Amino acid sequence: MKNRLYSSFASATHGDRASLMGAVCAALALFLCSCSSIPPARLAALPGDESALPPRYSMVCVIHGDAGYLYHDERGDAHRADEVTLAEAKTVAERNTQAEVFIFHERRRRHLLLFIPRRDGEFYYYRNGRLLAEESYWRDQGEFRFDPEIELYNRFCAEGSTDPVRLFLYFGHEIPEIGGAGYDASYKSRTFTIDDLAGGLKRIAPDSTRIDLVVLSACFGGTPHTIAALAPYARYVVASPDNLHLSYFDLRPLERLDIGLREGDVSGFANAFARHAFDKLTEDIQTTVAVAVYDVDRARGFLQTADGIYDRRLTAASGKTPAFIEHCDCADDPEYALPGMNEGITVLYRAPRFGRLQHKESHSGWECLKLAE
């Protein structure tokens, strides 16, 4: 059989062989492209009794993985923080039998055979503890930063649902307040700032309502500008006003929302979540640990009075290299010593075990910028 095929190919004209090889290459390219991503998802059917139950909780989880998240545990084993968080988010989704959960994993762009691009976003949709849809997508499509995610959210969100408790979680490294070029390692010219994140929240928040709880799992998330940007779309925010080890908040308190949020007490749940994250971090690391809960409505007074000061600092920092910009506790800057600075904030803080701040006893919960002296 092999010899007959070879003889047929050898006896073909040069043009026929070229056409045949072109067809083979085209078929191979189509095959590789078809293997490069998960096909567009369709919503799997729920049993009749489950589909009749509207979700009591709606959670959106965005995990940024297009940067350096590699670390090694105490045994020397390599892990990626975004992959660990993705696994935890899936566990949360599976254990919440009264929730719908949207998980978006933003991956670094990869290629097959060095030249065939693969989709760099992964989407998972769970309802009532079951994975109903899974899809890969291109992250750079659309005019605005979260256009692909918003399209998937609108396509799969439960219809006719009563007003659920809404949660939004973002995992990633520090979100810039100005500039924002290079946040994605795969898209050096693409910008991402806290205002882009706020724009995404605006598009998933129902009309005239706000997301009940936003968890910002990133370094230096507790600045006046960041909380003010999220304030129109969030009731409570959990964030770290300092460095956050591996951009990591533990997700286990979210595994049973029917228990943790049984009475709809978002404030109590936010504080319990922050306490659990703080305790877990202080067990594992020796550097600064700071986790704060912001009651946005109660903190508005300070945000309004501090806004002009902080904007001037941002303007002064614009164009400066990171070496010339320092983060500091706002309470250590006399210009921010304003009435209501501590209103609406619960702060959990432990000083680093070493270094110049090891004797710092407390943190205001607000992180500010200053130019290095």
Tokens coding 349: 């803080």
Q: Quote the CA–CA distance of 302 and 83 in Å, as a whole number.
A: 37
200: closest CA among 223, 232, 236?
232
Looking at residue 366, its pLDDT comes to 96
Looking at residue 114, its pLDDT comes to 59
Q: From residue 195, how far is each of 152, 207, 232, 234 by CA, in Å?
A: 21, 19, 12, 14
Looking at residue 35, its pLDDT comes to 39
The domain locations on the chain are 54-297+345-352
Q: What is the pLDDT of residues 176-233, one digit of tens each?
A: 998 898 899 888 888 999 999 999 999 998 777 899 999 999 999 999 999 999 999 9
φ, ψ dihedrals at 71, nearest 5°: -145, 170
Beta strands in 65-142, from DSSP E residues, in sequence order: 70-72, 78-80, 99-106, 111-112, 116-117, 121-127, 130-137
Say whether pLDDT at 350 is over 90.
yes
Higher-confidence position of 113 and 119: 119
Looking at residue 110, its pLDDT comes to 73
Lowest mean pLDDT among 113-122, 208-217, 245-254: 113-122
Q: Quote the CA–CA distance of 342 and 330 in Å, as a whole number.
A: 11
Looking at residue 153, its pLDDT comes to 96
Q: From residue 240, how far is each of 86, 243, 293, 365 by CA, in Å?
A: 20, 7, 9, 8
Say whether pLDDT at 99 is over 90.
yes
Q: Mean per-residue pLDDT for 236-247?
A: 90
- With contact defined as beta carbons under 8 Å apart, do 106 and 66 qualify? yes
Higher-confidence position of 9 and 139: 139
Q: Mean per-residue pLDDT for 64-86?
A: 85
Q: Which amino acid is at 20?
A: L
How would you classify residue 145: left for phi > 0, otherwise alpha for psi between -120 and 50, otherwise beta?
Answer: alpha
Q: Quote the CA–CA distance of 190 and 181 in Å, as a whole number.
A: 6
What single DSSP character describes residue 205?
S
Q: Quote the CA–CA distance of 52 and 48 in Å, as a whole number.
A: 6
Looking at residue 56, its pLDDT comes to 94
Q: Three-class SS of residue 299?
A: helix
Higher-confidence position of 42 and 276: 276
Q: Mean per-residue pLDDT for 165-174?
A: 96
What is the CATH number assigned to the segment(s) 54-297+345-352?
A: 3.40.50
310: closest CA among 336, 340, 342?
336
φ, ψ dihedrals at 132, nearest 5°: -105, -20
Q: Quote the CA–CA distance of 133 and 124 in Å, as a whole number.
A: 6
SS3 letters across 159-204? CCCCCCEEEEEEECCCCCCCCCECCCCCCCCCECCHHHHHHHHHHH
Side-chain half-sphere CA neighbours of 35 within 13 A: 10
Q: Mean per-residue pLDDT for 134-152?
A: 92
Highest mean pLDDT pick, 99-108, 137-146, 324-333 = 99-108
Q: What is the pLDDT of residues 19-54, one digit of tens each?
A: 544 443 444 444 444 334 444 555 666 555 555 578
Lowest mean pLDDT among 102-106, 133-137, 168-172, 205-209: 205-209
For all residues of the chain together, what is the average pLDDT? 85
Residue 244, burial from CB neighbour count under 10 angstroms (0-12, 13-18, 19+): buried
Higher-confidence position of 276 and 262: 276
φ, ψ dihedrals at 235, nearest 5°: -90, -45
Q: Quote the CA–CA distance of 277 and 287 in Å, as a whole number.
A: 15
Say whether pLDDT at 18 is over 70.
no
